[in-house]
Amino acid sequence: MHEDLQREEHVQELLALLQKDKTLRDFRGAFTAPEDLVEFANRAQFALHDQGEQVIKQGDRGDNFFIVLNGQLRAIDVSNKKPRLLGYFSSGAIVGERAMLHDRIRTATVEVVVGATLAWFSEEDWYWLIGRNSRFEDFFHNMEAYRIQQSAMDFPGRQYDEVVVASTKRHFTAFLAELTYPILLLIAPIVIILIAQFFGLALSTILADAVTLLATLPFFIAAILLALYNYFDWLNDDFIVTTKRVVHIERILFFGEQRKDAPLTRIQDVTVISDILDLIFDSDTLRIATAGAGTIVFNHIRHAEHIRQVIFAERVHAKARVAAADVVALRHTIANQIHVTEGLKEHVMDVAEPEGLIVHQPTTRHYNRFIDYFIPRIKEVSQTPEGTIITWRKHYYVLITNIVPPLLALSAAVYLFIASFFLWLPPFMILAWPIQATLGIIILACMLWYLIKYDDWNKDVYIVTNTQIIDIESAAFRVRKTKREGTFDNIQGVYSEIPNLFYKLLNLGDVIIETAGSDLTFTFEKVFNPAAVTEEIFSRWAIYQQKERESQRDATNRQVMDVLKEYHKLVSNDVQQ
């Protein structure tokens, strides 16, 4: 009797989901009669699935599909050595349709991330559904195509454990807002003509004057070129929401780019802001406030309200995975204490994806101190017991601009010094020895000048460890040295800037690290590949914060275990007495 009541509750829950869920609108619309929808719900078999269960295994034969009532699942491609996330499924998602549509072979593994209730349907139910209306098959094909498209969407810096959920571009109003200067350029010739009329020149005379036309033509050309520049600049920015983070890539055409990322779990609030153009043309600005990752602004974007809803929904899912990861950690702690680890279900991927991802990098090869000193390296990787340490120096362009003057002076002095021995120039025939001595001193001075410039570049370093960032600014031969250190606890945001086209071509820019408790920032100036440097710092910062959270969680788990042990002792004493 209890099982019948529970099944009836599940049927009603499924029916309510089918009738109200927005993602199932086209699905329920394919039912020609309300009683067919009720019959479909009554055909379901319901099952509760624990965290870690694999409800579908890649490569198996598939003869059923299911709808998620609650909980959270994910599809993973395990065909390669490194698993790749294909997507997450939550309430209202239909899963397993691909095998039913094609050759019945499962193309992905689906595992439970947060304990879920699923409504299962058999192969017979599938054919019953398809036979009701051909629109069902179209619905499943469209859903399959959409999921394949979503899992394949890419962007610079995408990681294996995330999938793009939503992306958008700026609204046309953003382009209109940039037309101020082109319009002013177009108005300028009219102003010139009006001024000419004010001084008594007839309009027909002005327009017929070739000099006037030549004078106004550059304004029209400049206006058109500037408008075209603004148009293409308007097109090339990205606003992306993934299952893991929000990403804003701001590209300035011919000049450079700036990128900001924030994990979903750190998002505190998303505010919709509209100006007069937004109200007229239905566009908005999203201001995303985060804990420890600064503020990210998506300005004048399309579908802003939809993006806001997606961010909040994905944030809920991401936080649910973090909570699920805490449960897994507690389960493992208890299992280790009572020695029953063999029965634990292992996930294909981490339950809660790491906020940062550190890619293994080969250690820089060293020879000896003298040779290493004269090998100009802009990046060095070293391994220590505390972890990997990366040291950056300024771009080679900075080194070249430093050493070219002394090298040119040295080359000229060496040439003249050699010429003095062969008497190539008349003065050397008369004052050979004094000139040679003077040139020798100049050569030594140029060499010293070179060493000063080179050492000045070599001693300015930016260091990142697993726990802190270090900025060392040193004069040549360490006659003056400034060292700033900051821990990842104080970082508020990390982003990169490439200021102009020339720097963009050289992949040269600045990395700005905003810190709490000080008006000063850490700026890694003129480094090579600033986007990669930003990604490295951001990942280490995120992993540090995550480890801090996990450390607190483990401490709490140990307290829980201590309480359980004391409880067990007390119960055992009562039984013995």
Write the pLDDT tens digit of every residue in 167-200: 888 877 777 777 778 888 778 777 766 666 666 5
Distance CA 303, CA 283 (A): 7
Inform me whether the pLDDT recorded for 440 exceeds 80: yes
Inform me whether the pLDDT recorded for 164 exceeds 60: yes
Alpha helices in 272-395 (DSSP H): 276-281, 304-338, 369-373
**Which of the pair, 282 or 145, is modelled with greater confidence?**
145
Inform me whether the pLDDT recorded for 245 exceeds 80: yes
pLDDT tens string 10-50 = 999 999 999 888 888 888 888 888 888 899 999 999 999 98
Q: Which range, 95-109, 335-349, 492-506, is most confident? A: 95-109
**Which of the pair, 90 or 562, is modelled with greater confidence?**
90
Distance CA 74, CA 111 (A): 6
What are all long-range contacts of 304-309, with beta carbons under 8 Å and residues at least 24 apart? 304/272, 305/272, 306/166, 307/166, 307/168, 307/239, 307/241, 308/270, 308/272
- Tell me what the mean pLDDT of segment 462-466 comes to: 87
Distance CA 7, CA 418 (A): 100
Q: Which pLDDT value is given to residue 2?
A: 46
Q: Which pLDDT value is given to residue 122?
A: 92
**Model confidence at 424, in pLDDT bands (50, 70, 90)?**
low
Classify the phi-psi angles of 573: left when phi > 0, otherwise alpha if psi is within -120 to 50, otherwise beta.
Answer: alpha
φ/ψ of 386, rounded to 5, equals -85, -10
pLDDT tens string 337-350 = 666 656 666 777 77
Inform me whether the pLDDT recorded for 392 exceeds 80: yes
- Tell me what the mean pLDDT of segment 351-370 comes to: 72
Q: Which pLDDT value is given to residue 213?
A: 60
Structural tokens at position 15: 């029916």
Q: Which pLDDT value is given to residue 292?
A: 57
Q: Collect all residues with Cβ–Cβ distance below 8 Å to 418 and sequence separation of at least 6.
A: none
When mean pLDDT is compared across 102-106, 318-322, 423-427, the lowest value belongs to 423-427
Inform me whether the pLDDT recorded for 548 exceeds 60: yes
**Which of the pair, 99 or 302, is modelled with greater confidence?**
99
Q: Which pLDDT value is given to residue 513?
A: 83
CB 471 within 8 Å of CB 393: no
**Model confidence at 206, in pLDDT bands (50, 70, 90)?**
very low
Q: Which pLDDT value is given to residue 423?
A: 57
pLDDT tens string 111-140 = 999 989 999 999 999 999 988 888 898 999
Q: Which pLDDT value is given to residue 429?
A: 54
Q: Which pLDDT value is given to residue 17?
A: 92
Inform me whether the pLDDT recorded for 220 exceeds 50: yes
Distance CA 73, CA 117 (A): 10
**Model confidence at 1, in pLDDT bands (50, 70, 90)?**
very low
φ/ψ of 480, rounded to 5, equals -150, 135
**Which of the pair, 480 or 44, is modelled with greater confidence?**
44
CA 471 to chain centre: 24
pLDDT tens string 502-525 = 887 788 888 888 777 655 678 888
- Tell me what the mean pLDDT of segment 408-424 comes to: 78
Structural tokens at position 482: 């400034």
Distance CA 31, CA 346 (A): 40
Q: Which pLDDT value is given to residue 431?
A: 57
Q: What is the mean pLDDT of the chain?
A: 80
**Which of the pair, 552 or 512, is modelled with greater confidence?**
512
What is the full DSSP assignment across 188-257? HHHHHHHHHHHTT--HHHHHH-HHHHHHHHHHHHHHHHHHHHHHHHHHS-EEEEESSEEEEEEEETTTEE
Inform me whether the pLDDT recorded for 165 exceeds 70: yes
Q: Which pLDDT value is given to residue 89?
A: 93
- Tell me what the mean pLDDT of segment 259-272 comes to: 81
